């Protein structure tokens, strides 16, 4: 059984042990799983290449641990509890036995379609059970899944398919989102038209049943391929360090990179962190509202909960359909015990008024989770008082796509809690704060750049197809340390408070974006000469997107031009990257070496032009006044 910490004293003791003897500690945690062959060595690592190997030589399959391992003890317990978009449709249950059978059928269907160990399979799907089933089917046969959030555009999808040379796409016909049917298959077709030569097959899951075009020889219906397959499927034997999945995420430069996670360490850490952070108990109903297109969905809707034998809710809908009470209605109806969502959703629902949350019985809730961005104190208090009724602890979980699992967080009610503080590191996690010169900052009540100085089992291993990029991005800033890109404060009690990104990554409604990516999209417009994108504080989204744009000719109609820019961004990346504000400017403040002074642009965007610092050394100091006077409030 995975260790479950039950008091703060126990946490302190376990933490100490995990740092003094990491190998012993993680070997203990790993031993509760089913291994085909035990590892020869727990850990082998260096951060200079980097080269990190956990449970070296161990052989296993993660789906045997998510499914087969539970059949005897909890075969008839619900594994996935699916709540559809339409509140009038009943929830659908998959017991561990049923899920096992469905995953085996899907795995056999994938094999029948030529998918083998190591092949990459891309997903572009809504939050329906078939997504989880197909993801697990990949893992069962050793294929590498690459799930792309279905809000990304055809271009973004094509880029991701091509970066990983995926052999197959699994999609739906249409997605349900509130009252809308989104033509997902059509977007996949558009991606194919942009050139995705590696794709041999597209499997289409019939979701809404609206009409679509099927291309002969390439497109197949999911149900045709899966129905009639055997409900057993021999799992592929995987090495601990074989790839499990790729997940694309944005950085400060260039195109999104494919973060690679591997089988053994990811399994051990997601299960351990799930049980401890959420304090999941036998029989609980756990609900994470994330989309499986993000790491939160991978680790804490699918893998972590299933590894722990939990009942995990999958929600197809949106927080505001049919009304702003939807989350709380589902919590009431399904008697949810652990609820995990993002600050942006909390703020949006908070703005709708308390009556929505007061309408429902939320007494089943034992733990409330927050993830994806800093949670402001007002939202924290509302979440605690109105949703948790002051009875449920908030676990503010700090982590990243790259970390694979939660790194800093309270453990249910067993940790001290402070609004807007993630708190203490999980066992085995060794964070540190650095100054810009590479010195580690000792002691408390201090602020610095957040790094991690020792490997943990679920850390990224590489960025797909470009190991050097992984080294440069995460391991080159500080010797022997993983650099997170976040700034953080360690308060007088040693609790961490995440301040936010210190690089050119912004976090909009919990969606991570590179400002360079948005700029590249804007620059596709024929009239645009140059652009600069920054984040600014936004009441609901956390950060909004502010774009400064230089055009080659004067713009006749700024409204039309703005709309065109939004269209370009939607086409290149997706609607989530649309700037909230676009200011047409005649120049951008630059240093003498030609670097854009983003500091100034950020200040202007935030509405604070009082003290812009010394601008006299700029190449074009006169531009600052012009930008200030044209700033959008």
| DSSP labels, 489-521 | EE-TTS-EEEEEESSSEEEETTEEEEHHHHHHH
Please identify, using beta-carbon distances, which residue of 132 and 422 lies nearer to ligand WT7. 422
Q: Is the bond leading into 50 cis (omega within 30 degrees of zero)?
A: yes
Contacts 24+ apart (CB under 8 A), 382-389: 382/346, 382/350, 383/346, 384/419, 386/350, 386/354, 386/357, 386/358, 387/328, 387/339, 387/357, 387/362, 388/362, 389/362, 389/363
Please identify, using beta-carbon distances, which residue of 101 and 295 lies nearer to ligand WT7. 295
The three-state secondary structure class of 240 is: coil
Write out the H or E segment, with its range, that includes residue 532.
strand 528-538
Min CB(254)–ligand WT7 separation in Å: 16
Give the Cα separation of 238 and 526 in Å (integer): 49
Min CB(278)–ligand WT7 separation in Å: 14
Q: Cα 591 vs. chain centroid, distance in angstroms?
A: 35
Please identify, using beta-carbon distances, which residue of 263 and 295 lies nearer to ligand WT7. 295
Min CB(285)–ligand WT7 separation in Å: 22
Min CB(244)–ligand WT7 separation in Å: 17
Please identify, using beta-carbon distances, which residue of 2 and 296 lies nearer to ligand WT7. 296
Please identify, using beta-carbon distances, which residue of 452 and 624 lies nearer to ligand WT7. 452
Give the Cα separation of 166 and 144 in Å (integer): 9
| DSSP labels, 158-205 | HHHHHHTT-SEEEEES-EEETTEEE-HHHHHHHHHHTT-TT--EEEEE
176 bridge partner residues: 181
Min CB(280)–ligand WT7 separation in Å: 18
CA distances in angstroms from 400 to 327, 357, 444, 555, 607, listed in the order given: 24, 29, 24, 40, 29
Please identify, using beta-carbon distances, which residue of 371 and 521 lies nearer to ligand WT7. 371
Min CB(498)–ligand WT7 separation in Å: 4
Structure tokens at 633: 């409030």
In this structure, the strands spanning 462-463 and 168-172 are: unpaired
The three-state secondary structure class of 279 is: coil
Please identify, using beta-carbon distances, which residue of 93 and 447 lies nearer to ligand WT7. 447
334 bridge partner residues: none
User: Which residues, in sequence order, are CB contacts of 402 under 8 Å at separation 6+?
Assistant: 249, 259, 459, 460, 474, 484
Please identify, using beta-carbon distances, which residue of 63 and 370 lies nearer to ligand WT7. 370
Please identify, using beta-carbon distances, which residue of 47 and 482 lies nearer to ligand WT7. 482
Which DSSP letter does residue 5 get? -
Please identify, using beta-carbon distances, which residue of 396 and 519 lies nearer to ligand WT7. 396
Min CB(493)–ligand WT7 separation in Å: 17
Min CB(409)–ligand WT7 separation in Å: 7
Please identify, using beta-carbon distances, which residue of 290 and 612 lies nearer to ligand WT7. 290
Please identify, using beta-carbon distances, which residue of 107 and 127 lies nearer to ligand WT7. 127
Min CB(100)–ligand WT7 separation in Å: 28
Please identify, using beta-carbon distances, which residue of 265 and 374 lies nearer to ligand WT7. 374
Please identify, using beta-carbon distances, which residue of 60 and 342 lies nearer to ligand WT7. 342
617 near 599, Cβ under 8 Å?
no
Q: Among 262, 245, 235, which residue's Cα sits nearest to residue 54?
A: 262
User: Which residues, in sequence order, are CB contacts of 371 under 8 Å at separation 6+?
Assistant: 290, 296, 340, 341, 342, 397, 399, 406, 510
CA distances in angstroms from 525 to 88, 531, 550, listed in the order given: 44, 11, 11
Please identify, using beta-carbon distances, which residue of 155 and 400 lies nearer to ligand WT7. 400
How many residues are there in the chain?
633
Q: Is the bond leading into 562 cis (omega within 30 degrees of zero)?
A: no
138 near 255, Cβ under 8 Å?
no
Min CB(442)–ligand WT7 separation in Å: 23
Min CB(294)–ligand WT7 separation in Å: 6
Min CB(330)–ligand WT7 separation in Å: 21
Give the Cα separation of 101 and 123 in Å (integer): 21
Give the Cα separation of 521 and 549 in Å (integer): 12
Give the Cα separation of 563 and 491 in Å (integer): 45
The three-state secondary structure class of 269 is: helix
Min CB(108)–ligand WT7 separation in Å: 33
10 Å Cβ neighbour count for 249?
19
Binding site for ligand WT7 (CB under 6 A): 249, 294-296, 370-374, 396-401, 422, 484-486, 498, 500-501, 507, 512
Min CB(406)–ligand WT7 separation in Å: 8
Min CB(420)–ligand WT7 separation in Å: 8
């Amino acid at each position: 059984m995975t260790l479950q910490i039950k008091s703060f004293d126990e946490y302190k003791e376990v933490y100490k042990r995990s740092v003094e003897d990491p190998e012993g500690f993680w070997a203990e945690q790993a031993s509760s799983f089913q291994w085909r062959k035990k590892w020869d060595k727990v850990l082998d690592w260096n951060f200079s290449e980097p080269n990190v190997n956990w449970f070296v030589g161990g052989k296993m399959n993660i789906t045997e641990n998510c499914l087969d391992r539970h059949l005897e003890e909890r075969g008839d317990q619900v594994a996935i509890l699916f709540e559809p978009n339409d509140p009038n449709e009943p929830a659908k249950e998959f017991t561990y036995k049923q899920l096992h059978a469905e995953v085996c059928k899907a795995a056999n269907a994938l094999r029948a379609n030529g998918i083998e160990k190591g092949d990459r399979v891309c997903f572009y799907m809504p939050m329906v059970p078939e997504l989880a089933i197909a993801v697990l089917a990949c893992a069962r046969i050793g294929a590498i899944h690459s799930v792309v959030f279905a809000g990304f555009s055809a271009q973004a999808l094509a880029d991701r398919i091509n970066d990983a040379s995926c052999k197959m796409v699994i999609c739906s016909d249409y997605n349900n989102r509130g009252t809308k049917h989104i033509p997902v298959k059509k977007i996949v077709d558009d991606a194919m038209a942009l050139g995705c030569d590696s794709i041999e097959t597209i499997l289409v899951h019939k979701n809404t049943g609206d009409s679509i075009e099927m291309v002969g020889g390439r497109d197949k219906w999911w149900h045709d391929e899966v129905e009639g397959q055997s409900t057993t499927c021999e799992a592929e034997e995987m090495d601990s360090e074989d790839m499990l999945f790729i997940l694309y995420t944005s950085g400060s430069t260039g195109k999104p990179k494919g973060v690679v996670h591997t089988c053994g360490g990811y399994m051990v850490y997601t299960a351990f962190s799930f049980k401890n952070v959420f304090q999941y108990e036998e029989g609980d109903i756990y609900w994470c509202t994330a989309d499986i297109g993000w790491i939160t969905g991978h680790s804490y809707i699918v893998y972590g909960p299933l590894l722990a034998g939990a009942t995990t809710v999958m929600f197809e809908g949106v927080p505001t359909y049919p009304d702003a009470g939807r989350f709380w209605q589902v919590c009431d109806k399904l008697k949810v015990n652990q609820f995990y969502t993002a600050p942006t959703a909390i703020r949006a629902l908070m703005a709708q008024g308390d009556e929505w949350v007061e309408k429902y019985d939320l007494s089943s809730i034992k733990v409330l989770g927050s993830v994806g961005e800093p949670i402001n104190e007002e939202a924290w208090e509302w979440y605690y008082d109105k949703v948790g009724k002051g009875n449920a602890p908030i676990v503010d979980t700090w982590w990243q796509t790259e970390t694979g699992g939660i790194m800093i967080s309270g453990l249910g009610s067993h940790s001290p809690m402070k609004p807007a503080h993630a708190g203490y590191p999980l066992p085995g996690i060794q964070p540190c704060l650095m100054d810009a010169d590479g010195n580690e900052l000792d002691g408390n009540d201090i602020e610095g750049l957040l790094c991690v100085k020792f490997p943990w089992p679920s850390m990224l291993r590489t960025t797909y197809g470009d190991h050097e990029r992984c080294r440069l991005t995460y391991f080159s800033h500080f010797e022997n340390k993983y650099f997170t890109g976040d700034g953080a404060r360690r308060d007088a009690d040693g609790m961490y408070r995440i301040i936010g990104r210190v690089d050119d990554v912004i976090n909009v409604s919990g969606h991570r974006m590179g400002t360079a990516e948005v700029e590249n999209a804007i620059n596709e417009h024929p009239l645009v000469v140059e652009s600069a994108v920054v984040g600014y504080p936004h009441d609901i989204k956390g950060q909004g997107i502010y774009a400064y744009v230089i055009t080659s000719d004067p713009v006749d109609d700024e409204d039309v031009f703005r709309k065109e820019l939004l269209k370009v961004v939607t086409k290149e990346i997706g609607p989530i990257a649309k700037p909230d504000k676009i200011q047409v400017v005649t120049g951008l403040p630059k240093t003498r070496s030609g670097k854009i002074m983003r500091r100034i642009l950020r200040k202007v965007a935030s509405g604070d032009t009082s003290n812009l610092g010394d601008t006299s050394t700029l190449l074009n100091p006169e531009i600052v006044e012009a930008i200030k006077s044209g700033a959008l409030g």
